[in-house]
Structure 1
């Protein structure tokens, strides 16, 4: 899309967040349903940054700010005062190290935090 001069503000990635994925037989009939991966968006961001050489901040925007604006998700999509503190921290290899939801640690330095209270 970027190579076709579509503004980055009009691009977004989405996922079904573990939605079902059909596997079809040779007659194109669904036979098995599997779960999508929770990491599919991160995998796409990692791929476009590393393989396509898209700047990280551009790749990040298409899974954060752009969908939040498109779906009018108030308080989402940006690290801004008054917004939900839903944050994912990545290492230099773009692997998850820390996850916060509404400011609460769910994962801290790759360790799951219990009890999970939101």
Structure 2
């Protein structure tokens, strides 16, 4: 179950209580947006050390220092990168509020935000194997669709993103068919 934990002071406490006081296993929950605050990111580290998985949400417009810093912190504490996913609010509702907390409109999350974050991390010097796992094989495994998605292998769907030397997308292939190409 993917759970948007937000930035409430309680952090992951309700999920810890659910795991401790019920027969639900820790892998039943996949907390998202765990990079909202430094405190929450610290709790996410402990959640992963306890056997759980977590999701870092990428910035909606451009790569931010906070996101890079969160990924660097996780890389520095030597955790199992199979337990992390990156996601975006691409296409999702992004409410806008005025200074009094009143809803004044909506925007939509950028669909390209996830790739822009991956590209930015690569440009920041993060290793390819750290950056790609959270957007390929890890979410496929966590979602239970690793039989058809997440990696290039015989019998899988052949969903690919082709990059140039500067990590720009030059083609997208879905189920073996080119759906986007800069060469067309």
1:18 Cα offset (Å): 1.0
Structure 1 equivalent of residue 158 of structure 2: 85
Aligned residue pair count:
110
Contact 1:96 1:110 survives alignment (8 Å): no
Show structure 1 runs of 5+ residues with no match.
112-118
Q: Normalising to structure 1: TM-score of the pair? A: 0.84
User: Cα distance 1:4–1:30, how it changes in 2: closer, same or farther (>3 A)?
Assistant: farther
Structure 2 equivalent of residue 114 of structure 1: none
The structure whose RCO (Cα within 8 Å, separation 6+) is larger is: 1
1:2 counterpart SS class: helix
Question: Residue 37 of structure 1 is aligned with which of 103, 106, 110?
Answer: 110
Matched, 1:107 2:152: no
Structure 1 equivalent of residue 127 of structure 2: 55
Q: Distance in 2 between matches of 1:79 and 1:71?
A: 17
| Larger of the two Rg values belongs to structure | 2
2:111 counterpart SS class: coil
Q: Normalising to structure 2: TM-score of the pair? A: 0.56
